[in-house]
Amino acid sequence: MQIHSPITDLRLALKNRGRVVLVPTMGNLHAGHIALMTAARAHGDTVVASIFVNRLQFGPSDDFDLYPRTLNEDCDKLTAAGVDLLFAPSESDLYPEAQQYHVEPPQSQNQLDGEFRPGHFRGVATVVLKLFNIVQPQAALFGKKDYQQLMVLRNMTRQLALPIDIIGGETVRADDGLALSSRNAYLSAAERAEAPRLQRLLQRIGTAIRAGETDFARLEREAANELDQHGWKTDYVAVRRQADLQLPGDDRKQALVVLAASRLGAARLIDNLEIDARDGR
């Protein structure tokens, strides 16, 4: 695997590489990232991974300094996964001057994580557009665990007419259901044992909705209460339309997704569950 940091080096290395597929990451790679790398192979000739912990998407009280940086181990994993090129810019490669032009996601995304992490999606969209401009991929993969992020990036790509296919990868889970995340490393042993409750509650909501439950507010409230009774601090549990993450209307057949974000100790965990279109009962 080739490793490049300066933008000019990467651009040279990407000449005549056929269809390029990009998998942007912040490193500290786990099996979820590696599944994206493996899936990327089916979408092009050259698989490029990027590793960059993007300061712009962290708020002042977020974990930018704490965020685990494990470049050597990550390189071994990417090599084993057959990735062709790694773009691992330094802060001064990517932001040689203060970034003054930004991508501002629409008001409609100032909800869910957009509400609890103000400026987060602006930072994500800005760095991803910049990575797209640098790598000029024909396709890019993002995990569905960051469901709202995937939606923001899909919409940005469509609205700015970028010639890039955005592909979502399924969430990879531990045997007990916990979604893999770099932030799981912040959990103590007791918190790690508690953490699968989040996905269990989402499954319970999914089961209730599939069985015909329509009082989503009650399901959300009960799940948030249960989390908080077990030591979590919940930002939201929310049933939304898959299509645009807005509140579900009366159309019983639309596909829904239930999303949650809650803090357990030092970790803010997010997860979601897609609920198939209901049968109209």
**CB count in 10 Å sphere of residue 251:** 10
Half-sphere exposure of 217 (CA within 13 A, CB side): 2
Q: In the set 10, 35, 47, 128, which binds ligand PAF (CB under 6 A)?
A: 128
Q: Least distance from C-beta 52 to ligand PAF, angstroms?
A: 6
Neighbours of 35 (CB within 10 A): 18
Residue 134 sits in the site that holds ligand PAF (CB under 6 A) = no
Closer residue to ligand PAF (CB): 128 or 164: 128
Nearer to ligand PAF, 166 or 275 (CB): 166
Comparison of 142 and 216: residue with beta carbon closer to ligand PAF: 142
- Pull the structure tokens for residue 93: 């490669």
127 part of the interface to ligand PAF, by CB under 6 A: yes
Q: Which residue among 33, 43, 120, 230 is the active-site one?
A: 33
42 class by beta-carbon count within 10 Å (0-12 exposed, 13-18 middle, 19+ buried): exposed
Q: How far apart are CA 73 and CA 77, in angstroms?
A: 6
Q: Does 169 bind ligand PAF (CB under 6 A)?
A: no
Binding residues among 197-256 for ligand PAF as defined by CB under 6 A: none
Where does residue 104 rank: exposed (0-12), middle (13-18), buried (19+ CB within 10 A)? Answer: exposed
Does the footprint of ligand PAF cover residue 78 (CB under 6 A)? no
Q: Is 23 in the site for ligand PAF (CB under 6 A)?
A: no
Which of 87/216 has CB closer to ligand PAF? 87
146 binds ligand PAF (CB under 6 A): yes
For ligand PAF, which stretch binds (CB under 6 A), given 141-149, 191-199, 248-256, 261-269?
141-149
Does residue 26 belong to the site contacting ligand PAF (CB under 6 A)?
yes
Active site residue 33: yes
124 binds ligand PAF (CB under 6 A): yes
Within 10 A of 91 (CB to CB), how many other CB atoms are there? 11
Judge whether 242 and 212 are in contact, CB under 8 Å.
Answer: no
Q: How far is the CB of 131 from ligand PAF (least distance, A)?
A: 8
Tell the residue number behind the tokens 């990575």, with chain if given.
131
**Which residues have a Cβ under 8 Å from the Cβ of 15 and sit 6 or more positions away?**
none
Dmax over CA atoms of the chain, in Å, equals 58
**Helices 71-80, 31-40: crossing angle, 10 deg rounding:** 40
Among 24, 32, 89, 114, binds ligand PAF (CB under 6 A): 24
Q: Which is nearer to ligand PAF, 27 or 44 (CB)?
A: 27
Catalytic residues: 33
The footprint of ligand PAF (CB under 6 A) covers: 24-26, 54, 57, 124, 127-128, 142, 146, 149
